[in-house]
Amino acid sequence: MAAPTAPGTRAGGGAGRAGRPVPSVASPRRRTSDVLVTAVLVVVAVCFAVPLLWLLLAAVDPGATLQLRLPDEPGLDNFAAVLTPETTLRPLLNSLVLCLSAAAITVVVATLAAYPLSRYQLRYGRPFLYTVLFATGLPLTAVMVPVYSLFARLDLVDTRYGTVLFLAATSLPIAVWLLKSFMDGVPVELEEAAWTDGASAMQSLRSVVAPLMLPGMLVVGIFTFITAWGNFFVPFVLLLSEDKLPAAVTIYQFFGQYGAAAYGQLAAYSLLYTLPVVVLYLVVSRWLGGAFTLGGGVKG
Amino acid sequence: MSVVERAGGPPPAPTAGDAPAPRPPRRRPASRWLVPLAPAVVLLGVFFAGPVVWSVLLSFTDASLTGSAARGTSFVGLDNFVTLVQDPAVWNAVVITVVFVVGSAVIGQNGLGLALALMLRGRGTAVRSLVTLPVMAAYVVPEIVAAFVWYAFLNPEGTLNTALGGLGLPGQSWLFTVPVLAVVLANIWRGTAFSMLIYLAALSQVPADVDEQAQVDGASGWTRLRYVTIPMIRRAIGTNLVLVTLQTLQVFTLIFVMTAGGPGDKSETLPLLMYEQAFQYAALGYGTAIALVLLAIGAVFSLGYIRAIGKEEI
């Protein structure tokens, strides 16, 4: 606040247009409000970071408490304690099997369904799409009670394939919706050559459309995987035997048994469980931020 | 997502001779669309539509996990719904659900997300990353881990009380004294990134010259926000409100882990009441009736969502 009366405050505080004199439209006031806004943003950032910092620090602190503190003697003891087959490895493997299967089924089934919806003028195409869109909004939690009783009738409770099919079904609406609009972006002209050569619709889907949509299919697959990986309620209700439970459920049991004492181990387990999701998010965001464009064949 | 123009128009028929005619053109064999569509229809029918229809039927019965009703389920008409309307636990859960949704989604995530997006406009990359990194991290972490983190943060021996103690303020057992506030805060923490991203995207579409013109005309910051910026992102606000409401309506894990609906029923939202009735008290029929209430509320918002989005994108 050296000279608020100066006609042209040089933007010394870092605001863009360095050098050029800025018109004096309330610029000193603008500068103080900039500082204020930045201060508020920093406070918000700290509030969001502090709870997570506890998780990161407690995991490497063998004597962790519930308070945020720097470890006296940082070490990997907590990880060593939980990295046993029964505690983390088998549950994480179970999660991997469940989520990979669900993601694969979702992508294949949704791509197949997207093709006629995108390419043919179906009499019931629009109502079907509206229903699918409607289904994306329904609260999944509310379906779990009837799903459990349906599973009990069909003898599907505590089966892996039943849980996988249900997880796939719940992510289908949004997947069909996304893949249909991705497919709309792939020009039909590219397929016409294949048809002229006598390819069937399914052949041209596989050899022309699918390769162009691969990035979109992968993104849908990754998001299905992430959603399924974080889902606690579905496997909590549908799976019972210890050896089938995914990490989402066993980490809850761990919290119930040891959560009141072994904070460091709970934090270490949480990090192990969170890591795959973080990696996948980074992969997707790097990708979406970069050269992710749909229908890449259009320009070439 | 840039979808090429074709999306809106009538999809051209693949075979060369299919001219668009008012009457249905040459009949295509149904198998051509039925076969690829079938797996999706079957999966959705069995695991999605089936349970919803089933739940409507089940809610008119006294189906139970255990006891005499588990063997022979009988039709009880509207009994479950009569019980439901007269049940103070249901009304308690409805009130808490409304407080939870309005507090954490409509005001919390939506308001904070919009505020952050507005404040981040025109900031440098350093400030932007400083804010988006922790906000996004909270969003990426699985729900159950978020619940652990907040359980630790709000514990009597947790970080919040230590920090308050450092400032000379008294701490308390937050999860017991103010359980609803505790889960509201945790859910704001967890979900704000979604709203922030929606609003950052919407604001980047607002042409800068409109705002600059208003500034030249002498409009103050608040006036510009109120009469220029907000009206231009009105659609994004509507869409975001519906989406965060739908997401928050079905939150189960966060509350289940942090407070389990307690102490007593002080933080028991509809999903938790449903779970308690169906799986802990083994009253599947009654639990399903509560689920239907939740489904109905969700369906109303979902219809609003279609109205907001669907018309332009199909």
- DSSP category for residue A242: G
The alpha-carbon gap from A232 to the nearest alpha carbon of chain B, in Å, equals: 7
| A8 assigned to some structural domain | no
Q: Is B239 on the interface with A (CB under 8 A)?
A: no
Assess A258–B contact: CB distance below 8 Å, yes or no.
no
Q: Does some domain include residue A3?
A: no
Q: Does A60 reside within a domain?
A: yes
> What pLDDT does B9 receive?
36
Nearest to A230 by CA among A53, A90, A98: A98
Query: What CATH number did the domain enclosing A103 receive?
Result: 1.10.3720.10
Closest chain A C-alpha to B205 CA, distance in angstroms: 17
Query: Strands, DSSP E only, in A156-272?
Result: none
Is residue A213 one of the residues assigned to a domain?
A: yes
Nearest to A267 by CA among A52, A86, A96, A93: A52
Give the ipTM of the model, two decimals please.
Answer: 0.83
Q: For residue B23, what pLDDT is reported?
A: 44
The predicted structure's pLDDT at residue A191: 85
A94 and A63 both lie in a single domain:
no
Residues in chain A within 8 Å Cβ distance of B123? 37-38, 41
Q: Is B159 exposed, middle or buried (0-12, 13-18, 19+ CB in 10 A)?
A: buried
* Residue B273: other Cβ atoms inside 10 A: 26
- Measure in Å the smallest separation between the Cα of B232 and chain A Cα atoms: 22
In terms of domains, do A39 and A93 share one?
no
**Per-domain residue ranges of chain B:** 79-142+178-309
Q: How high is the pLDDT of residue A59? A: 92
CB-based burial label for B181 (10 Å; 0-12, 13-18, 19+): middle
Is residue A297 in some structural domain? no
Question: What's the confidence (pLDDT) of residue B208?
Answer: 79
Contact between B214 and B228 (Cβ < 8 Å) = yes
Residues A71 and A92 grouped into a single domain: no
* pLDDT of A24 higher than 70: no
Residues A50, A115 within the same domain:
no
The residue with greater pLDDT, B72 or A116, is A116
Mean pLDDT score, A23-37? 69
Its domain, for residue A278, covers: 82-289
Place of tokens 């988006």: B132
**Residue A293 pLDDT > 50, yes or no?**
no
CA-CA-CA-CA torsion sign (A166, A170, A173, A174)? negative
pLDDT digits (tens, 9 = 90+) for A151-170: 888 899 999 999 999 999 99
Of A54, A75, A96, which residue is a domain's last?
A75
pLDDT at B114: 95
In this structure, the answer to whether residues A118 and A160 fall within a common structural domain is: yes
Best A25, A92, A145 member to test B by mutation, with max B CBs in 10 Å, is: A145
Structure tokens at B292: 């239907």
Question: A58-98, pLDDT tens digit by residue?
Answer: 999 888 888 888 888 888 888 998 898 988 999 999 999 99
Residue A279 near chain B (CB below 8 Å): no
Average pLDDT on A184-199 reads 85
Interchain CB distance below 8 Å, A136 and B189: no
Instruction: Assign 3-class secondary structure to chain B.
Output: CCCCHHHCCCCCCCCCCCCCCCCCCCCCCCHHHHHHHHHHHHHHHHHHHHHHHHHHHHCCECCCCCCHHHHCCCECCCHHHHHHHHCHHHHHHHHHHHHHHHHHHHHHHHHHHHHHHHHHCCCCHHHHHHHHHHHHHHHHCCHHHHHHHHHHHHCCCCHHHHHHHHCCCCCCCHHHHCHHHHHHHHHHHHHHHHHHHHHHHHHHHCCHHHHHHHHHCCCCHHHHHHHHHHHHCHHHHHHHHHHHHHHHHCCCHHHHHHCCCCCCCCCCCHHHHHHHHHHHCCCHHHHHHHHHHHHHHHHHHHHHHHHHHHHHHC
Model confidence pLDDT, tens digit, residues B207-239: 878 878 888 888 887 888 888 888 888 888 888
* Domain identity same for A88 and A217: yes
- Tell me what the pLDDT averaged over chain A comes to: 83
- A71 and A43 in one domain? yes
Residues A136 and A203 in one domain: yes
Q: Quote the CA–CA distance of B24 and B22 in Å, as a whole number.
A: 6
Side chain identity, residue B52 = V
Q: How many CA atoms lie within 13 A of B298 on its CB side?
A: 26
A124-161 per-position pLDDT tens digit: 888 888 888 888 888 888 889 889 888 888 899 999 99
CATH fold of the domain at B79-142+178-309: MetI-like fold (1.10.3720)
pLDDT at A30: 67
- pTM of the entire predicted model: 0.83
In a shared domain, residues A271 and A177:
yes
**Domain match, A207 and A281 both:** yes
B56: exposed, middle or buried (Cβ count in 10 Å: 0-12, 13-18, 19+): middle
Higher pLDDT: A231 or B218? It is A231
pLDDT in tens, B180-193: 999 999 999 999 99
Whether A167 and A65 share a structural domain:
no
Chain A residues with CB-CB distance to B138 below 8 A: 48, 51-52
pLDDT of residue B3: 35
pLDDT at position B21, please?
40
In the three-class reduction of DSSP (H, G, I as helix; E, B as strand; rest coil), residue A288 is classed as helix
Cβ atoms < 10 Å from Cβ of B10? 8
Backbone angles phi, psi at A38, to 5 degrees: -60, -40
What is the number of other CB atoms lying within 10 angstroms of the CB of residue B69?
18
Which chain A residues are Cβ-neighbours of B288 within 8 angstroms?
A: 145-146, 149
Helix axes B31-44, A90-119, angle to 10 degrees: 140
Last-in-domain residue among A75, A101, A132: A75
Does a structural domain hold residue A299? no
Residue segments in chain B with a per-residue pLDDT below the cut of 70? 1-29, 63-72, 308-314
User: pLDDT band for position A19 (50/70/90)?
Assistant: very low
pLDDT, greater one: B258 or A25: B258
What residues in A contact B2, CB-CB < 8 Å?
185, 293-294
Q: Say yes or no: A57 and A96 in one domain.
A: no
Alpha carbons A224 and B97: distance in angstroms, whole number:
27
Q: List b or e across B258-269, with b for residues whose CB sees 16 or more CB atoms inside 10 angstroms.
A: bbebeeebebbb
CA angle A34, A37, A38 (to 5 degrees): 85
Instruction: Specify the pLDDT at position A110.
Output: 95
pLDDT at residue number A29: 64
- Residue A226 and residue A277 in contact, taking contact as beta carbons nearer than 8 Å: yes
